[in-house]
Amino acid sequence: MKRFLARLALFLLPVVLVYEIFAAALINTRELADLDTIVAATVDGSLTLYGTSHNEKIGAYKLQAASALGAQLMVLGTSRSMQLRGEFFASDSFYNAGGGVRNMWDFVDFLSRLPQDALPETLLVVLDQNFFNTDWRASSSDESQDFEGGDPDFFDTLLRTGIDYGEGKFSLFEVLSPQPGIYGLAAAARGTGFALDGSYRYGILVQDNLEEPQKNFAATYRQIDFGQQRFAYGDTPDALALEQLEQFLAFCTERGIKVVGFLPPYPPSVYQRMTQNGGYGYLDTLYEEIAARFTAAGGEFYDFTAFESEDVEYIDGFHGGDRVYARIALGLAEHSEILSGQIDTSQIESMLADQQGNPRNFPG
């Protein structure tokens, strides 16, 4: 028996040593850092990038950061709002709380959880088209954003990290040395995560299929062809979602928050496929339905669904890159009275003028 146990220990020793290295990677990348620490780094400006591999608490992080910062100009939406960078705006008090919501109801829920003195003066919201699709809204009605933090499980994360390494998702050499301002394995290994201003960096993902960008749309094409998930079919805008929009606008009006919103863009080939499919009749009147409600509440609303752009400028079938959103910001600067003077057009034009980088993103 003793000989068996000795042989078993010898057999398991390499595994133990490897997982000790994985544990060191978790510690050095601060994958398991608590939200209080990450929010504090956001507030004091020491954070460079926050992106975990297995402990994402985006709703809780964005809520806590927004509460602590109390930005005068705030962006709010899903992941389709997270490319609006602080550099695009002239305000010294800016925060992108993108990722803080998942559906139309979450907007009121998020804002109502902020301290009164942390509510923004101006709110720029991005309303995903699928918010107003009845089938999608019904299927996601029990998926409201999670605003609770919670502590990550060390051993579960350690096991998942080992699996990730086995699948070639990261290199140990990139994560064994502490990197100042970096929180999370994804941020350290792939450069993906939230920057100090709350906007998102896609890291190495921006390199995928630059020569054949439509390869990145394969999953979206399937969803369009079969009417699935955010690309579910629908004839008219969802009545309940429109009612929730009215409640959100009323909330903002009562608290003196000026609101500007827009429908985000799809890659040209994706929008063309949706049009050819014919299953998206609800989009025909969606802008008019939303814009009328914004106007009645003293706000402004814009439609960038079919925004002039190129497929290569998109990360996937529904996430535009930095350059797409930079040009959207210029469009808002041209037409929005509420955002007049709050968008740094000269900075944006300077960033766009540099054509040497990746067509999807700006450096940094």
- Would you list the DSSP string of 26-50? HHHHTTT--HHHHHHHHHHT---EE
Instruction: List C-alpha distances in Å: 179 to 27, 189, 197.
Output: 11, 11, 19
Is it the case that residue 289 has pLDDT exceeding 80?
yes
Angle subtended by helix axes 218-226 and 268-277, to nearest 10: 10
Backbone φ and ψ for 208, nearest 5 degrees, come out as: -65, 125
pLDDT value, residue 160: 67
Handedness of CA 3, 8, 9, 13 (dihedral sign): positive
Q: Looking at residue 167, what is its pLDDT? A: 60
Would the CA dihedral through 277, 279, 283, 284 be positive or negative?
Answer: positive
- Name the β-bridge partners of 300: 260
Q: What confidence tier does 282 reach under pLDDT thresholds 50, 70, 90?
A: very high
Domains of the chain: 18-57+159-198 (no CATH), 58-149+213-364 (3.40.50.1110)
CA–CA separation, 146 and 60 (whole Å):
7
Percentage of residues of the chain with pLDDT beyond 90 = 74
Q: How far apart are CA 143 and CA 171, in angstroms?
A: 34
C-alpha span between 203 and 31 (Å, rounded): 17
Least confident of 185-189, 234-238, 309-313: 185-189
In the three-class reduction of DSSP (H, G, I as helix; E, B as strand; rest coil), residue 169 is classed as coil
Residues 195-245 have pLDDT tens digits of 999 999 999 999 999 999 999 999 999 999 999 999 999 999 999 999 999
Question: Can you tell me the mean pLDDT for 189-198?
Answer: 95
What average pLDDT does the segment 133-154 reach?
Answer: 78
- Tens-digit pLDDT profile for residues 241-277: 999 999 999 999 999 999 999 999 999 999 999 999 9
Residue 352, Cβ density class (10 Å: 0-12 exposed, 13-18 middle, ≥19 buried): middle
Q: Rounded CA gap, 98 and 283, in Å?
A: 23
Tokens standing for residue 158: 């350690």
Tokens of 301: 């609303």
Q: What is the pLDDT of residue 55?
A: 76
Please write the tens of the pLDDT for every residue from 18-33. 556 666 666 677 888 8
- Please tell me the distance from the alpha carbon of residue 181 to that of residue 42, in angstroms, as a whole number: 10
Q: What is the average pLDDT across 7-18?
A: 45
Q: Is the pLDDT at 316 greater than 60, yes or no?
A: yes
Determine which of 2-11, 87-96, 225-234, 291-300 has the lowest per-residue pLDDT on average: 2-11
Torsions phi, psi for 49 (to 5 deg): -155, 135
- The two three-digit tokens of residue 169, written as one number: 């998702």
Both structure tokens of 187: 């941020």
**CA within 13 Å, CB half, 190:** 22
Q: Could you tell me which residues come within 8 angstroms of residue 103 by beta carbon, excluding any fewer than 6 positions away? A: 131, 137, 140, 141, 143, 144, 241
DSSP H or E segment with residue 263: strand 258-263
What 8-state DSSP symbol labels residue 196?
T
With bands split at pLDDT 50, 70 and 90, how would you rate the model's confidence at 154? low
Question: What are the pLDDT digits (tens) for 161-180?
Answer: 656 655 666 665 676 667 89
Residue 148: its pLDDT value, please?
Answer: 80
- Angle in degrees, CA 88, 90, 91, rounded to 5: 115
202: enclosing H helix or E strand: strand 200-202
pTM of the predicted model as reported, rounded to 2 decimal places: 0.91
Q: What are the angstrom distances between the C-alpha of 62 and each of 43, 47, 113, 114, 136?
A: 12, 14, 11, 11, 24
**Which ranges in the chain belong to alpha helices (H)?**
2-29, 35-44, 58-69, 106-113, 134-139, 154-166, 185-190, 218-226, 239-254, 268-277, 282-296, 322-335, 345-353
Where residue 10 falls among pLDDT bands split at 50, 70, 90?
very low
Ranking 7-21, 75-89, 302-316 by mean pLDDT, the lowest is: 7-21
CA distance 101 to 319: 16
With contact defined as beta carbons under 8 Å apart, do 291 and 301 qualify?
A: yes
Mean pLDDT of 52-57: 82
